Amino acid sequence: MISRHATVVLITLSLPISALAQNHRVTNASDGVLVATAGLGTLTPGSSSKPTATQVQFRLRSRQSTGYRVDCQATFTTTLLAVAAGGATVSAGDVGVGITSVTPASGAILPRSDVISAGFNYDPSAQSTVNGLTPFAGAASGQATLADLAAGMKILSGNKVNNTINTGSSTTNYLTVTMKFAVVPQYFTPANFSSVLTLTISNGP
């Protein structure tokens, strides 16, 4: 049986610093540095009509009066484990990516006007296939993939979250953002693949 293997999806982060002070902060779900690794494991074709999925959560803080925006850029690398011999090779377009929730902590300013960019407001793990092939049609069709992020684009924006961006176990001044990634196991040239996503937060909108 031919299978393809996923190594990791690695999310790294760069943060802009304003001339006077930092107005935004993104951390992992424990308020640490955001370098999250999400693995998909070994993908065996024909085992399910549902995608194999994983997720990453991060906390977002912003005290900027005009709000925030989050941009994302993704690289994608494939290492073949066998000769392609005319077969298809897994690509960035086979990996669905979506933001499934933006949840305010109790101290976040209400009402919220957070907007997930078109195409990313869906759950890739909930998609199913009837022909065993990739069901993700791309951001323009409401089902974003890593291919949509090759050049970088805005994926999320919103209004000011709180007057502070302090971190710590007692703080409630943040949004929790959940991103999901999914791949449908199918017949491809055996390979390992990985993707590095870089998030950048800046002044909105």
- pLDDT tier at 132, thresholds 50, 70, 90: confident
Backbone angles phi, psi at 124, to 5 degrees: -65, -25
DSSP state of 186: -
Q: What is the pLDDT of residue 103?
A: 98
How many domains does the chain fold into? 1
CA distance 184 to 133: 7
Q: Using DSSP, how many helices (H) and how many strands (E) does the chain show?
A: 0, 11
Position 125: which residue type? S
Q: What is the DSSP letter of 72?
A: E
Per-residue pLDDT at 115: 98
Give tens-digit pLDDT for 111-131: 999 999 999 999 999 998 877
Statement: residue 21 has pLDDT above 50? no
> Is 1:45 a contact under the CB 8 Å cutoff?
yes
pLDDT at 47: 59
Residue 6 has pLDDT above 70, yes or no: no
**pLDDT score of 183 more than 80:** yes
Q: For residue 130, give its domain range.
A: 4-203
Which of 79-93, 124-138, 148-162, 188-202 is predicted most confidently?
Answer: 148-162
Could you tell me the pLDDT band of residue 102, with boundaries at 50, 70 and 90?
very high
Q: Who has greater pLDDT, 3 or 178?
A: 178
Q: What is the chain's mean pLDDT, rounded? A: 85
Segment of 11-15, 33-37, 77-81, 199-203 carrying the highest mean pLDDT = 199-203
pTM: 0.86
pLDDT digits (tens, 9 = 90+) for 29-81: 999 888 777 777 777 776 567 898 999 999 999 999 999 999 999 999 888 88
Mean of pLDDT values over 78-98: 83
